[in-house]
Every structure is written in structure tokens, then in C-alpha cells.
Structure 1
Amino acid sequence: MKNLKTIILSTVFTLSATAAFAEPYRIGVLTDMSGMNFDLAGQGSVVAAQMAVEDFGGKLLGETVEVIVGDHQNKPDVGSTLARTWIDSQNVVAVVDVPTSSVAMAVQEITRQTDTAFLISTAGSSALTGEACSPSTAQWTWDTFAMANGTGRAMTLEGAKKWYFITVDYTFGHALEADTTQAVLAAGGEVVGSVRHPRETTDFSSYILQAQASGADVIALANSSGDTMTALKQMQEYGITEAGQKIAGMLLFLTDVQGVGLDIARGLTLTTAFYWDMDDQTREWSARYSERMDGKKPTMVHAGVYSAVTNYLKAAEKAGEARSGSKVMETMRGMDINDFFNRNAYLREDGRVIHDMFLVRVKAPEDSGAAGDLYEVLATIPGKEAFASVENSACPLVKK
């Protein structure tokens, strides 16, 4: 009897100690904290994830939830190593954000192998929910097809038929050019040429001269962030628009427009998943975000991170399961996804979150009333029109 009492007391002590020192669930924001994507993602994505956890109450299935951050330096090997370490040893149950499609592709393999939720807000290659799709992934904010289909189709239908691409030479750029080409051809346009450049290029002069000589109606920048801003500034020096050619920034963030200024960006048409000044809901959340970010306005990436983390937490709570990303995603597919970011949204079997997108035009300086007042919303693009149809998906998870 004495031995039995000792065993019982020992068991009670062990359970109590385990409860007292239970490791919290962790959300890992894997982002670019020091490179070309810092402003559009970076610290803003960390703050957005923290806001989502706090607004949810800071607990999931009775356990504390923490947000941790890692800088992948835009290198696939660094990103995948960080993700593996987090999942194996730091109880990370969801990886969030991940700028740079090549990094996201590498990280997706780790989250697929470990059945960990992968909530993509910044990487945009449509292949992430195409041939490379994963049952534990949700591509939340945008993809190359949606940006191409919005801007490419709209400008071609307006009469800009001949297109020339200046494309960044890696996974994302290739996907954006391919998807835009498809949209342009479908709208009755043609592609007259293209040229590729390394990431973080400082001199676009040779590429601009080739595009200028092509006779294209539109010079399309199939790149992003720092590359896009550098190209736009140098294109102004060459007088591209004054000579009659149009410029299409196929992926422009609010921070990019702010970076080059309205004098350079004025009149550009672009597609976005979110604009802070659309309505009372977007303004209310954005005001709370700005309080933590020294007055900075959120990009669509930041809003997407908040929405993705919030809906992950809701789905995990409902599923009674945090560690199996595929089970959480299966539960999410049966949920109503509707918040200040998502309009008419749902999670598809290929991992693509379908929601409305918006066609906007950059304001002229004289039409901007205050800091951050940058866009005029031209049209809402319903989600089913914005994103590639599931019938044409290359994702092996989709039932044909």
C-alpha cells in the first residue's frame, strides 16, 4: 500500500510539473527582416501576427500562444533550415508570411513532411497551390495569376495590346510573366518580347532601352519591391510614359508607391488584395496597426498575415488540433471566412484562399489628401474571376 501511495504521489507530481512547464504553441513568422522585402513584410508582419494572437485571447486549446520571428535572408536553405528547427525543437505549429517564392517552395516541403500549417501571405507563385500544392498550406493573400489577370486583362482590354516584359530571373518572376502572358493573350493582346534581370539589380538601363525599342504599348515589370522601385525611377529618367508607352507594375505594394512617390507612380494601374482606406472595417484595423508601427499604413501582406493567423487559430480551436496542419486546413474548408480583409472568401482544396481582389489606380499628388492616401479603387474583381479556376488546377489534391 505504501508503494502504491508513492507511485500515485509521484504521478501527480509529474503531471503537475508537466502542466506547470507546458511549452506554449508558437506561430513562426518567417520573413525578410533585413532585405528588399523588409518594408512590405518584415516587422509589419510580426506586428500583425501578434495582434491576431492577442485579439484571439492569447490561448489555443488551453495553452499559451507565442509569436516568434526568423529572418530567412531571401535564401531557400536558410528558410527551410529555420522552419525545420522551429518545428522540431520549438513547438512551432504554424509558419506564416514568407516573402520570396523560392524560399516558400523550400519551406513548403518542410511543412508538408511534418504536416505543419503553412500560411503564405507574401510569396505569390501560383505553383505553390498548383503542381507544388500541399494539404497543410493556405496561400492567403495573392498570387501571380490574380495580379496578372487583374492588371494584364484590364490594360489589354483598354487598348494596350502589345506587351514587353522586364522580368526578375527566379521562380516568382517566371510565374508572373507566364500568368500575365496568358491573361494578355486571352484578352486579345500579344507579347512582343521579354528580358530577364538578376534580383536586386541597380542598373536597368539596358533592359529599359530594349523595351523602349520593342515598340510595345506596355512595358510590364514582372518583379517586386526594390527592383520595381529602381526600375520605375529609371524609367522616368528615360521618359517612357512621355514618349507614349505605358508602364505596368505587375506587383506593386503600398510601400513601393510610397517609396517612389506619387510623382513617379501617378496613374499606374495595379491589382491588390487590400487597401487600408476602403471602408470603416479596414480603417479601424489599420489605425490599430499604425499605432504600433509609428504611423505606417499596412500593406496587403500585413493584413493577410493577421487574417491568416486569426482564421488558423479559429480552425485549430474548432478542430481540437493544432499540430496537424492538414486537419486544421480540412476544418477551415468548412468554415465561413469573413473579416475586414477577406470578402466572399473560402479555402479551396488546392490551398488557395479565394477572395475578392481590387483594381486600383495610383493618385496624382494633387489628388492625395493625406499621407497614405494613394489609391483610387476602380473595380472589385470577384474571387472566382480573380484566381485560376480549380478545374484547370495542376494540384494533385484536386479531385478531377
Structure 2
Amino acid sequence: MNIASGWKKPTAGIALLAAAALTASCSSGNAATGNAGASKATTSATPQAPTITISPAEGSAKVSPDKKIVITASGGTLDEITVQAGTSDDEITGTYNADKTRWVSKGTLKPSTGYTVSAKSGVTTATSAFTTIKPERELQVADVTPNAKGETLGVGAPIIVTFNQPVTQKAAIERALSVKAEKPVKGAWRWINDTVVIYRTATYWPAHQKVTFTADIEGVKAGKGTYGVKDYTANLKIGAKVISKVDTKKHMMYVYKDGKRVQTMRISAGMATTREYTTTSGVHLTMERGNPVRMISPGRKKGDPGYYDVMINHAVRISNSGEYVHAKDNVWAQGVRNVSHGCVNARPDQARWFYSTMQRGDVVDITGTDRELEWNNGWGFWQMPFSQWKKGSAL
């Protein structure tokens, strides 16, 4: 029985009796099993509104672009979040934890940019405006080779990326680089120096496909005071599988396209009287072409023995040590003797055909000499085993 129920104006006697009963109950040795008729006092409080915390806090300046935006809610869940960069329409995305009380941004922030953050939890809203740091040095992709407009590449082609600033935090930048192919094949990056990194596949690219290179470097720290300021994308096209095999002992060159022989050429290679005049053996790649190309004997001046200064037609470069596949009218030697200064020369009409059909990155595999092509001589990257190549990665 609730002694207070239904009583508005109790008489004095009854009120005193009730007071006595309550006093007896409260003084019992076991409060949990005391007078069953005792009442329990109850109160009702207004629920507190959720609180929201945003980091970086309002007014923060010189925020590092690799810092994450973190929003937390106490006493409620996060209902709405908006993060806007400067005056652009780009919004930063992020992920929630399981109970939606915490949100963390994805990726990096843009350098030299003001950000506005707003969040809502129940009836509570919060905002924060902050600015990211201006880099001392701005990192960008200066060049990707080979990547001429409309160019089709050979199956041996590397992806050579050159930056405009030295990169000391190479692992961070390398993580921001990606290569996606329609016909995927294993590959790895190798840093040549602080500004150049090269991607090479473990085996030749599968022919006839598209490859996309992406550098998501905006906001990535590349070194002290150095941050990426602009992303970069290159769409590459891999063409037919063109493999040329040169046998300097038999003085022959065979060209295969997608597995089918399409050209047989009598050639003359380096005379091999000196190392300089010896054609290098190994896997070469076609690098560039010119018609004509001026060729001058290295390390000699006019009047010296062996000096030459000539213009050569339909020349395709295959190394940095002066080797080309080019036209030459000494057909008497082609297929018979090696008489060149190190280049592979062929009949003018066939050299013109090779010049016209080559793709940068086509394979020219030369055998028969005792001078090996160095892996860093031109695009001789296939001379290095892939197991060794990938050790040049920063990851």
C-alpha cells in the first residue's frame, strides 16, 4: 500500500502515524527487506545534449597535410559530417567506427588550403576552420617517359617518373604511386636517384592493352618542408609484342610481331677491334629515333685516327653508349662481316621499315659479342634480374 496515494489533506493523527512508520522502516537493520509499504523517492532529469570534439581545432594554422581530421561525439552518435576544402566543391571522405561516435578522414589534405568542418550529433552542432601549411618546396611530377601524346609502347617499356624536387621520404611517395593494367602483371619500382623512380614489370607487358599510372602525391610529405601539391595521371597504351633478335655472329636480324616473323634483315655489327667498337649483347629497348642523326666519334677530335662526323638516316637508338639500328649502304658487308663502330646497320629500305614501325619499348635482343649491355646503359633495365631490380624499391 502506498501511504501517500490518494491523500491530499491527511489529518494530523494519520500524518504522525505515517511519519512514525517511515522512521521505523528507515532504521531497520536490512533496508532491502524493510517495510514493504515504504515509498522510494524518484527524480527525472533532462538528458544532456551530446558534445562534439573536432581536431584540428578551430583556428589552427600550419596544419601538416598528412594530419587526419578526427571528429568524436560523446553522449550521442555522429549524424552528419561535412569537410570542405577552400572554395572548391571537393569534399573529404572518411570512415566511422562501429557505433558512429568517431570519424577519421581518408587520405591527405591539400597544402596551403583552408578547411571548414561541420558536424552534427542530435541537437548539437559543431564547426572548425583551419589552414594547412604552405610547403617550403612543392613536389610535382615533372615528366613521365615514355608517354608522348597518342604514343603506342612496346612490351618492354618502363615507366620512368621524374620529380621536380628531391625525394628523401621515398617510401611515402612510392606508396602514393600506382600502376593498373587491363592485363595485370607483377612489377616493381626502383629509385635511380632522389628525383627519378622507374617501374619495370617482372615479365614483358601483355600486348594490346591500356595501362594507367597514377601519382596521388598531393599532401604527401616527401622530405623536410617538401609536400606533393598536385596529383598526376598518365594513360599508356601497350601495342603489339615486337621482338627483334640480332645474331652478330651470323650477321642477321629477325623481327617478330605477336610471335610471327615479319622481317629478315642482313646486318653488320661492331667490328670489335676495341671495346668501344664492340656491339653490346643483351636485351636492349628502342628508346628514340631520328632521321637523320648526327654521329660523332666520342673522345676524338678532327684529325685523330678513327675520327668520324657523319649524318645517318633512319636511326633508332637502343642504348646510351651510341648504339643504333640504322641505315647503311654498305650492303657488301651486311650478312657477311661486322664492320661498324658498334651500331647495327642494315639495308636502307629495311632500316626505313624498322624506323617506321618501331614503338618505344620494343625489344632488341642482341647476342654473339663479349661485351655485355649494362643495366643502366640507356633502357637496359631487363639486364638486371627482377629479384635484384625490386630491391631498389623503398618499400
TM range, smaller chain = under 0.3
Tell me the TM-score normalized by structure 1: 0.25
Tell me the TM-score normalized by structure 2: 0.26
1 or 2 for the larger relative contact order (CA 8 Å, sep ≥6)? Answer: 1
Q: Which has the higher helix share?
A: 1
